[in-house]
Structure 1
């Protein structure tokens, strides 16, 4: 996600990344323990699996990640599912510490830069907050920046079909496209563009 538009530079994006993960940690730390076992927007993953996934950079060194990738035969989806299934059982305190880790806050996907780091943080944080019916923990500007990027790519990033669809944000003056209106707050719209289904059953067509 290297085309996110913003008024500052990569440091601003990375600040939004840190704020998103800190906000997610605050939300989960203040909730009941069974929140971690609630379903997320990621099919088959509970909240704890999402957190285990996004905090991989805080736990795995480059060498460890390389070993995991080799074990997965180069398939990142297999790696993600394997690590999430294994590390979801880690102590909650450790997962919260990982969400607050400066290593995670400064991490960027190889070749993706700060923009990709922001997209990863925002989309997965929404996997938690939208599923729980809670407000987004990412800064509002960050959510809209990711929304802009995913819409400008015409849904291609996550393989959704936006033909004949008009997206309308209910919480800000944002819209995109022409056709059948799909209206929701900006966070749920990002989730829809991320190929997720909303708790109310709405989902965008796949390509």
Structure 2
């Protein structure tokens, strides 16, 4: 994805993905919030608390959180997710629907970074729950294209000799001199993001 031509096209998909996740969770039993996600050690509520940070933290508050975490973003993420996962479900759903979140872009990441964040974390929930993707199909393919263009480097995945196929989207990548990995497009995004699928499949790390 090229930032110059895609920002205006990609950003609306961020809001659509977040709204779709909110709609899904609003229709699910309350116990779903405590179900495991694809993020190791995180329940659904932790994923939503993490992905909605930009709707709750001002840049100044984020800076203070980062300073408290000693500049370690993973530590910050774990701390905020653990704390804000305790918020009422209604508050987390409202944050998913926030125009602030829908317009947010990570520093230096642009709309592509925002879309990656929304799609990957939405899939952390839907794939784990066995639900259809809530992201627009073109958004999932855009993220697939970006992650494979980087040959897996974004999340430290080794794609040497790997061919990826998503029959649901008629999409494929790689020469396949070694392994052929076939899954729906959303599951392939999760694999490229370093997740382990509910069936145990995972891609090699670099």
Q: How does the TM-score come out when normalised to structure 2?
A: 0.96
In 2, Cα distance between equivalents of 1:71 and 1:144 = 37
Structure 1's consecutive aligned runs of 4 or more residues displaced over 2 angstroms after TM superposition are 5-9
Corresponding residue for residue 197 of structure 1: 196
Task: Using the TM superposition, give the Cα deviation of residue 142 of structure 1 relative to its aligned residue in structure 2, in angstroms.
Answer: 0.3
Map of 1:138 onto structure 2 = 135
Structure 1 unaligned segments of length 5 or more: list them. Answer: none
Does residue 1:102 correspond to 2:99, yes or no? Answer: yes
* 2:29 alignment counterpart: 32
Q: CA deviation at 1:8?
A: 5.9
SS in 2 for 1:203: coil
Aligned with 1:134: secondary structure?
A: coil
Indicate yes or no: 2:90 matched with 1:93.
yes
Q: CA deviation at 1:178?
A: 2.2
Task: Give the corresponding residue for 2:157.
Answer: 160
List alignment gaps of at least 5 residues for structure 2.
none
Tell me the distance in 2 between the aligned counterparts of 1:155 and 1:85.
29
**Which TM-score applies when normalising by structure 1?**
0.96
What is the number of equivalent residue pairs in this alignment? Answer: 204
SS of residue in 1 equivalent to 2:196: coil
The SS at the match of 1:25 is: helix
For 1:190 and 1:127, the matched residues in 2 are separated by 10
The 3 A distance-change label for structure 1 pair 7 and 71 is closer
For the aligned residue pairs, the C-alpha RMSD in angstroms reads 1.3
Is structure 2 residue 63 aligned with structure 1 residue 63?
Answer: no
